[in-house]
Structure 1
Amino acid sequence: MIDVKINEAEVKQLCREKISEHIKEVDAEYVFWDAKELRRRTCMSWNFIQEQFFFDKRFPKRKIGNKWYFPARQTREFLERWLDEQTSI
């Protein structure tokens, strides 16, 4: 009979490291997002974004010409904080 023992804490840590590596790779693809990418990444409509957090002074955004741009890393950090701040119903 074979007895296999797994250190759950070590497996969780390895998973976290691999996930973190993949997130860094994906984030490295873009320096900034446009409005279309922001909608895609949040799965939210433009109207919902504007109603919920677009006008929050902490939300990083720049308007160049007629187009909005959002620095990818700072926007992701803001969105994670914003989501944590939302109360569950």
Structure 2
Amino acid sequence: MFQVQIDEEKVEKLYLDALHKKMEEIEESKVFWDTRELKRRTCMSWNTIQEHFFHDPRFPKVKLGGKWFYPAKETETFLNQWLKEKRGVSS
């Protein structure tokens, strides 16, 4: 007779690590964000985004038809730099 013992904490950690890795892969695969994704990523309302950085000429955006698109990597880089500037930290 065999007896199998499973370390539930290790199994849970392995599962969570694999899930986290897969989620990162999915996030990195996005080439563009739409406005909904931009609002979600920044935790800001559309009015706040427009008031604070939308019209900054450095902010990467393209309007196709009636919808705005933002290149994911460039937008993330811009937002990190913009936030550093708001905190008074130079890069």
**TM-score w.r.t. length of structure 1:** 0.68
Query: Secondary structure in 2 aligned to 1:86?
Result: helix
Asked whether the equivalents of residues 53 and 59 of structure 1 are also in contact (C-alpha less than 8 Å), the reply is yes
Partner of 1:42: 42
Q: How does 1:1-89 map to 2 (within 5 A)?
A: 25-87=25-87
Note the residue ranges of structure 2 that are not aligned, 5 or more in a row.
1-20
- 2:61 maps to a residue whose letter is K
Query: Secondary structure in 2 aligned to 1:33?
Result: strand
What percentage of residue pairs aligned between the two structures are identical?
A: 54
Asked whether the equivalents of residues 32 and 71 of structure 1 are also in contact (C-alpha less than 8 Å), the reply is yes
Residues 67, 30 of structure 1: alpha-carbon distance in 2 compared, 3 angstrom cutoff: same
Tell me, in whole angstroms, the C-alpha distance in 1 between the residues paired with 2:40 and 2:77.
16
CA deviation after TM superposition for structure 1 residue 28, in Å: 1.9
Query: Secondary structure in 2 aligned to 1:70?
Result: strand
**TM-score w.r.t. length of structure 2:** 0.67
Greater Rg, structure 1 or structure 2?
Answer: 2
Deviations 1:22-81 (A, max 9, x none): 896354221000000000000000000000000000000000000000000000000000
Note the residue ranges of structure 1 that are not aligned, 5 or more in a row.
1-20
Residues 64, 54 of structure 1: alpha-carbon distance in 2 compared, 3 angstrom cutoff: same
Segments of 4+ in structure 1 off by > 4 A? 21-24
